[in-house]
């Protein structure tokens, strides 16, 4: 599995967690990412659906190059987006790449859009009138758009919804 980890916060916490998991799965060996069963590329220049769209395709190309050098192909590529990602914009980026005939579009395609829902906070957030700019924990971007609108879009657009923190 190849993974693009996207976090628009000042410190890319998700990438740090992924790297720690890679080391643990590789038996704690330094530089043993290949032994972990997955490789990751950190993308921290912005949200994958907006400002970092071109960087996303560069990150995917970097992963494919890594796999080629190691002599294997990924079964799956996973792109983790930020909390403020607009799924339609992300899907549009893949469709545009295909229409423009970008070389990467011959190698990767978007199969599924999966949304992870914080079950413990979803309903309260859905009822709130908070704007995205008032929620720095979601990342940078989105401005005055209501958080509830973004949540609805992320769930409606998903092929699959994963419920996280369902015990809270």
DSSP 62-109: HHHHHHHHHT---S-EEEEPPTT--HHHHHHHHHHHHHTT-GGGGT--
Cα–Cα distance list, 99 to 47, 58, 61 (Å): 22, 18, 18
Which pLDDT score is estimated for 44?
Answer: 63
pLDDT tens digit at each of 168 positions of the chain: 888 887 654 444 444 555 555 555 555 544 444 444 568 887 765 556 555 557 888 889 999 999 999 898 899 999 888 777 788 888 888 999 999 999 999 999 899 999 999 998 899 999 988 888 888 777 666 677 888 998 999 999 999 999 998 775
Which pLDDT score is estimated for 101?
Answer: 93
Which pLDDT score is estimated for 137?
Answer: 72
Q: What global pTM score does this model have?
A: 0.71
Instruction: Report the C-alpha gap between 16 and 108 in whole angstroms.
Output: 25
* C-beta separation of 67 from 39 below 8 A: yes
Which pLDDT score is estimated for 82?
Answer: 73
Which pLDDT score is estimated for 132?
Answer: 81
Instruction: Report the C-alpha gap between 90 and 87 in whole angstroms.
Output: 5
Instruction: Report the C-alpha gap between 98 and 91 in whole angstroms.
Output: 11
């Amino acid at each position: 599995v190849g993974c693009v980890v996207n976090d628009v916060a000042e410190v890319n916490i998700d990438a740090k967690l992924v790297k720690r998991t890679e080391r643990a799965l590789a038996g704690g060996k330094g530089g043993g990412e290949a032994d972990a069963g997955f490789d990751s590329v950190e993308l921290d220049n912005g949200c994958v659906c907006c400002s970092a769209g071109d960087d996303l395709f560069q990150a995917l190309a970097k992963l494919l190059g890594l796999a080629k050098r190691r002599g294997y192909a990924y079964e799956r590529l996973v792109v983790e987006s930020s909390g403020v990602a607009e799924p339609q914009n992300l899907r549009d980026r893949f469709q545009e790449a295909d229409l423009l005939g970008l070389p990467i579009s011959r190698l990767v395609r978007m199969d599924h859009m999966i949304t992870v829902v914080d079950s413990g906070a979803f309903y309260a957030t859905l009822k709130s009138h908070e704007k995205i700019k008032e929620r720095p924990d979601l990342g940078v971007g989105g401005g005055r758009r209501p958080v509830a609108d973004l949540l609805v879009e992320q769930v409606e657009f998903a092929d699959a919804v994963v419920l996280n923190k369902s015990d809270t």
